[in-house]
């Protein structure tokens, strides 16, 4: 890091936001030889502190999201090598488990919806296997007797997002990334070029390239010209954590999820006994209140799926904010403002898309262009952004 005569500090790359997307960008940039800094009051925090960590490219497939599917699959494919490299670089375990996923149906309507998903997966060339209710319960004996059928997705795995964030933070520090533990208050633009940011403590940071990777807050950073402001909005998710007491009785051996009365619920079992239950999806602006209704609905649906969960201690309740985009896909790469690059809008797929985002952003930062396979995710696809209707942010840092 260099200090100029004006007392400003400079780097090749300044990443605004130290969640998993900002950190993977910084780590990959530093490995490519770029002097890199990150601005965040709480690096390693953000939405990853709440997320369950499903790597669900196949089970979370939606109609109309074929392009996003390609990126999701590209990232899922990179996960094993990415994790091996990150664990070696940080000396930390990320909790990656290649355990697969079982998606089940509890009534006739749920089964019809799951059949639809199976057909869509088949049309998309994806691998999933239809099972009867009895076959589902043979795989997961804790499932409710009423389960009507399900889909076994052998390739959808999980990681512990908190450990992932911790490992990325250590890897960044070891790679020489400078961490400014302060909030970026304003983007600096000089003569139609992004040149850095001013922090909430008043420090000014200069950089040749600025990456805006602040999750749901990316859409409300001061100083970003309206025409390049990312159209990202907060989408609230409430998530519960239960604990399977020691010694861990086999409870669930893989991620189990279901459509229950049209809503989605998932249970993600970790090897350390944590059982994550998620998640609501609420368009409530910056609200991160954990509500009685949210907890009730998650427990009600999870109990219908796996009745034994009511015996477990409820150890944590939290809400986080997904960075939603208009087409549910991320915004990656250069904007129309020279020097300003985006890595945001990952919505439900931030954890899954971490490896590929790091690679794509490192390419952008070193070559100036998106690699071919990621061109569809250019922020330019939305054109100039209209003035945003979002209310002012009330939170210090939420996602």
The CB-of-142 to ligand GLY minimum distance in angstroms stands at 21
DSSP H helices in 6-65: 20-31
The CB-of-294 to ligand GLY minimum distance in angstroms stands at 13
Our CB check for ligand GLY shows the closer of 46 and 196 to be 46
Our CB check for ligand GLY shows the closer of 37 and 268 to be 268
The CB-of-110 to ligand GLY minimum distance in angstroms stands at 18
d(CA 126, CA 78): 17
Say if strands 184-189 and 54-55 run parallel, antiparallel, or are unpaired: unpaired
Q: Please give the residue whose beta carbon sits closest to ligand GLY in the complex.
A: 348
Our CB check for ligand GLY shows the closer of 106 and 235 to be 235
d(CA 197, CA 201): 11
Our CB check for ligand GLY shows the closer of 45 and 278 to be 278
Our CB check for ligand GLY shows the closer of 248 and 296 to be 296
Phi (first) and psi of residue 32, to 5 degrees: -85, 5
- Residue ranges binding ligand GLY (CB under 6 A): 54, 60, 237, 278-279, 322, 348
The CB-of-47 to ligand GLY minimum distance in angstroms stands at 9
Residue in 150, 175, 202, 211 with CA at minimum distance from that of residue 357: 211
Our CB check for ligand GLY shows the closer of 237 and 294 to be 237
DSSP H helices in 95-160: 108-123, 133-139
Burial class (CB in 10 A: 0-12, 13-18, 19+), 271: exposed
The CB-of-95 to ligand GLY minimum distance in angstroms stands at 16
Burial class (CB in 10 A: 0-12, 13-18, 19+), 394: exposed
The CB-of-154 to ligand GLY minimum distance in angstroms stands at 19
Biggest distance spanned by C-alpha atoms of the chain:
72
CB atoms within 10 A of CB 89: 17
């Amino acid at each position: 890091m260099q200090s100029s005569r004006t007392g400003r500090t400079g780097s090749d790359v300044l990443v605004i936001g130290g969640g998993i997307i900002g950190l993977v960008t910084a780590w990959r940039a530093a490995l490519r030889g770029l002097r890199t800094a990150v601005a965040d009051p709480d690096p390693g925090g953000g939405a990853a502190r709440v997320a369950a960590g499903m790597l669900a490219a196949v089970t979370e497939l939606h109609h109309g999201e074929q392009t996003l599917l390609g990126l999701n699959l590209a990232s899922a494919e990179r996960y094993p090598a990415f994790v091996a490299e990150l664990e070696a670089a940080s000396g930390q375990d990320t909790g990656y488990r290649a355990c697969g996923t079982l998606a089940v149906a509890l009534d006739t309507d749920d089964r019809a919806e799951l059949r639809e998903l199976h057909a869509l997966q088949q049309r998309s060339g994806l691998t999933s296997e239809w099972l009867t209710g009895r076959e589902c319960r043979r795989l997961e004996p804790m499932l409710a007797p009423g389960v009507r059928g399900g889909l076994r997705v052998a390739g959808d795995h999980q990681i512990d997002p908190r450990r992932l964030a911790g490992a990325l933070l250590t890897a960044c520090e070891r790679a020489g990334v400078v961490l400014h533990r302060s909030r970026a208050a304003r983007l600096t633009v000089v003569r139609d070029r992004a040149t850095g940011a001013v922090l909430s403590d008043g420090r000014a940071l200069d950089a040749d390239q600025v990456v805006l990777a602040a999750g749901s807050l990316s859409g409300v950073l001061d100083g970003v010209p309206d025409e390049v402001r990312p159209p990202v909005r907060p989408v609230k998710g409430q998530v519960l954590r239960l604990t399977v007491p020691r010694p861990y009785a086999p409870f669930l051996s893989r991620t189990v999820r279901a459509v229950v009365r049209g809503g989605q619920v998932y249970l993600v079992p970790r090897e350390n006994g944590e059982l994550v239950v998620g998640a609501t999806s609420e368009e409530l602006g910056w609200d991160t209140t954990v509500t009685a209704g949210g907890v009730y609905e998650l427990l009600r649906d999870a109990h219908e799926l796996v009745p034994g969960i009511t015996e477990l201690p409820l150890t944590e309740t939290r809400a986080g904010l997904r960075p939603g985009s208009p087409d549910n896909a991320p915004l990656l790469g250069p904007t129309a403002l020279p020097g300003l690059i985006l890595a945001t809008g990952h919505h439900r797929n931030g954890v899954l898309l971490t490896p590929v985002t790091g690679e794509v952003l490192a390419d952008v930062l070193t070559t100036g262009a998106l690699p071919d396979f990621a061109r569809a995710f250019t922020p330019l696809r939305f054109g100039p952004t209209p003035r945003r209707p979002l209310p002012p942010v009330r939170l210090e840092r939420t996602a």
